[in-house]
Amino acid sequence: MIVNRLAAGLAQQQALGLYRRRRIVSGPQTPVLQTDDGELLSFCSNDYLGLAADPRLVAALTQAARRYGVGAGAAHLISGHTAAHQALEEALAAFVGTERVLLFSTGYMANLGVLTALTRAGDLILQDRLNHASLLDGARLSAGRLRRYRHADMDHLQRLLAPITGACLIASDGVFSMDGDCAPYARLIPLARAHQATLMIDDAHGFGVLGTQGRGSIDATQVPIYMATLGKAVGVAGAFVAGSADLIETLIQQARSYVYTTAMPAALAEAACVSLDILATEDWRRTHLFELIRFFRHEARLAGLPLMSSETPVQPLLLGSADQASAWSQALLQYRILVSAIRPPTVPQGSARLRITLSAAHTKAQVEQLLTALTHISRQHHV
Ligand SMILES: *Cc1c(COP(=O)(O)O)cnc(C)c1O
């Protein structure tokens, strides 16, 4: 019986050092986090602009809850699509400059929806090997055939594109979530165009952070399908897909993860609308964040820490084995600092890492605290 083999599976995972446990947080996602282990200085949230606990978002959410209540009550196509959702879609479309935008309840569902709704049997789906799990799962669930190219390797992608005759969709993270590097747009975009392949960019970690006013790692009008989430830099929850009217109408009609699920609460849509205004106008958040990134990289390089080549708020330290990554993460806890170890299967074997994320909510002193702890730990552990 399936349920009888679960204990053995869990024990095996534990033996491999791959067992995960959830920490219980009892306050907002601020750098100083209230947890069941006490107060910890956190460098692992994706709240890159420090908006997740912004009082203006909280006020918008509570006001909207008084008007709309809490639950959306139904899917968008039944009775769950409110004026708040409509306004957010229109604001996002105006912001990124595309004809239309469609909201999804999560980024995971947006990616499943796009890949399954757009591809047919015989279509080829080409993906970067380090794409987010939701893009891979979307391809697996779709009728298309999945091939993966080596990370950011445009020569490899070109070789896979050369023999194709049918329709092809290329999907890539805009900013790679575990590495922090950007998609190689300068070659990726012309390559997709030259082979008449449809390019989809998942900018979960770029939107709000990179580009003019935080429009993302790429101008959304440069790619036929642009997707980003609202749960990271935007500080709320949910996701959107931006593109042509035909793209959005097709998703409304065909994307099962859109049709068969309850709409996100309207109050969240109103909070996201307020967040969008803030992130577009408060440039100081990005300025401060990028100052912290420069400072962290400069000091970490001097300390000989194993930085990766990332210019974004995702600043991993590459440690190799899952044991090493866990040991560093545990050692940081002794300094009351929370950074999660990212281990296989989230990243390839032998590339376990500490995934440090910086936020506009961090102070320089907090980043100094992290650097001091890392420097001490690196003297005790061999990299
Ligand atoms: C977080 C993330 C998602 C999933 O978004 P959720 O809204 O959290 O479901 C999709 N793609 C990438 C690259 C992500 O980092």
Q: In sequence order, what are the residues at sequence separation of 6 or more whose Cβ sits closer than 8 angstroms to the Cβ of residue 190?
A: none
Contact 128 CB / ligand 1 (< 6 Å): no
Residue 229 pLDDT grade (very low, low, confident, very high; cuts 50, 70, 90): very high
Output 140-143 pairs: Cβ under 8 A, ≥24 positions apart: 141/112, 141/115, 141/116, 142/115, 142/116, 143/116, 143/119
Sequence spans of domains, the chain: 20-49+283-380, 55-281
Q: Which atom of ligand 1 is nearest to the CA of 134?
A: 10
pLDDT above 60: residue 383: no
Assign domain 20-49+283-380 to a CATH class.
Answer: alpha beta
Q: pLDDT tens for residues 54-96?
A: 999 999 999 999 999 999 999 999 999 999 999 999 999 999 9
Q: What is the CATH number of domain 55-281?
A: 3.40.640.10
Residues whose CB falls within 8 Å of the CB of residue 108, separated by 6 or more in sequence, listed in order: 134, 137
Q: Which residues are known catalytic residues?
A: 177, 205, 232
Locus of tokens 């445009």: 154
Residue 82 backbone phi and psi in degrees, to 5: -100, 175
What percent of the residues of the chain are helix, what percent strand, and what percent coil, each to the nearest 5?
45, 20, 35
For the Cβ of 177 lying below 6 angstroms from any atom of ligand 1, the answer is yes
Ligand 1, atom 6: nearest CA belongs to which residue? 107
Residue 200 CA to ligand 1 center (angstroms) comes to 14
> Which residue owns the Cα nearest ligand 1 atom 10?
107
Q: How far apart are CA 254 and CA 234, in angstroms?
A: 27
**129-143: string of b/e by CB count within 10 Å (b at 16+)?**
ebbbebbbebbeebe
CB of 312 within 6 A of ligand 1: the answer is: no
Q: Extract the tokens encoding 347.
A: 């990243």
pLDDT for res 208 = 98
Atom number, ligand 1, closest to the C-alpha of residue 106? 7
Q: What is the pLDDT of residues 340-377, one digit of tens each?
A: 999 888 888 999 999 999 999 999 999 999 999 999 99
